[in-house]
Amino acid sequence: MNLRELRESRKLTQDKVAELGFVNQATVSQLELGKILDPRHSTLKALAEVYGVRLQDVVDALNISIREAEAA
């Protein structure tokens, strides 16, 4: 499951994630597109809290997003 799928499984928009996690919407978008290769730990932690998952789940989803972007 990539980051977009993780977000959508929680029925959240990028804007809502940004609002709830104090993360910029553009950052959420860039992460989902696999364009940010080394995000801040605090950003990943905020996403984990918003999504209600472990930090490792967000890291795994980010890695999938990055691999998908590289393959495209």
Q: Which CATH superfamily is domain 3-71 in?
A: lambda repressor-like DNA-binding domains (1.10.260.40)
Residue ranges covered by each domain of the chain: 3-71
At residue 71, what are phi and psi to the nearest 5 degrees? -80, -20
Indicate if the pLDDT at residue 38 is higher than 90.
yes
Going by pLDDT thresholds of 50, 70 and 90, the confidence category of residue 21 is confident
Phi/psi class of residue 11: alpha, beta or left (left: φ > 0; alpha: ψ in -120 to 50)?
A: left
Contacts (Cβ under 8 Å, ≥6 apart) of 45: 55
The amino acid occupying position 22 is: F
In this predicted model, what pLDDT tens digit does every residue of 44-59 receive, in sequence order? 999 999 999 999 999 9
What's the CA gap between 55 and 46, in Å, rounded? 9
